[in-house]
Structure formats: C-alpha cells, structure tokens
C-alpha cells in the first residue's frame, strides 16, 4: 500500500475484488477495505504446503 502497510492473504476466501476496492479479511477476522488507487504492488508467494 502507498502508506507502507502489507496484507497477507492466506486463502482465496479471504479476499474480494471490486471495481475500485479490495476487501481483505485478516487472521483476526477483521475486514480491511482497501482502495485500488493506493495499491503499489501485489506479490505471489508459494504455499508452504508444497
């Protein structure tokens, strides 16, 4: 994020993509509503289960 925050998504049911926002549900079940305009990058990390 532009402010330096990072959000880790651990399964596909913890994220929802809209037209202008992304909703990420954290490990504590707290939703975070993130504007797409403030996202600076997305990284894919391989699963530790593999």
Please report, in tens digits, the pLDDT of each residue of the chain (50 residues total): 888 888 888 888 999 999 999 999 988 999 999 999 998 888 888 777 65
Domain count, the chain: 1
Cα–Cα distance, 20 to 45 (Å, whole number): 24
Q: Assess if residue 17 is contained within a domain.
A: yes
Q: Is the dihedral of CA 5, 38, 21, 19 positive or negative?
A: negative
* SS3 sequence of 2-50: CCCCCCCCCCHHHEEECCCEEEEECCCCCEEEEEHHHCCCCCCCCCCCC
Q: Assess if residue 34 is contained within a domain.
A: yes
Instruction: With beta carbons less than 8 A apart as the criterion, state whether 7 and 32 touch.
Output: yes
Q: Residue 50: its pLDDT value, please?
A: 55
Q: Assess if residue 48 is contained within a domain.
A: no
What's the domain range around 3?
Answer: 1-38
Q: Is the pTM of the predicted complex or chain greater than 0.85? A: no
Q: Assess if residue 45 is contained within a domain.
A: no
């Amino acid at each position: 994020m532009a402010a330096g925050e990072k959000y880790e998504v651990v399964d596909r049911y913890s994220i929802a993509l809209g037209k202008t926002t992304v909703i990420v549900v954290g490990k504590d079940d707290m939703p975070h509503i993130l504007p797409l305009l403030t996202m600076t990058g997305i990284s894919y990390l391989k699963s530790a289960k593999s």
